[in-house]
Amino acid sequence: MPTYEYECKNCSHTFEVFQGMKDPPLDVCPECGQEVRRLINGGGGVIFKGSGFYATDKKAGAAKKSASESPCACCKDTSCAKSEAASGGNAGVEKRAAG
């Protein structure tokens, strides 16, 4: 059941009442017996419980890609020598013989 907030037009007394949505609004102040008005409030906030509600949540079974698996910027190929050199791998890097 929702909580409704009322304010007396005569004595400014404010109070909250748990009422069903189909119940008629109250008309009488419990303090002075005069007319009351129902106030509009922000209501309760929405609470999301569990995972999957935020952009930072990972989908089930999604694995992180390592730097060596990320595609090359120039050709979008994961086996490119430039992508492996940029990620710190040794493949594609020429070794010169000391001579």
pLDDT tens-digit readout, 16-56 = 999 988 999 999 999 999 999 999 877 677 788 877 777 77
CB atoms inside a 10 Å sphere around CB 29? 20
2/50 Cα distance (integer angstroms):
24
4/38 Cα distance (integer angstroms):
7
Is it the case that residue 90 has pLDDT exceeding 60?
A: no
Helices (H), the chain: 81-86
Is it the case that residue 1 has pLDDT exceeding 90?
A: no
The structural domains of the chain, with segments of one domain joined by +, span 3-39
8 Å CB contact between 5 and 16: yes
For residue 97, the 8-state DSSP code is P
- pTM of the shown model: 0.44
74/81 Cα distance (integer angstroms):
11
Instruction: Give the 3-state secondary structure of residue 48.
Output: coil
Q: What pLDDT is attached to residue 47?
A: 80
Q: What pLDDT is attached to residue 45?
A: 76
Choose from 5-19, 40-54, 82-96 the range with maximum mean pLDDT.
5-19
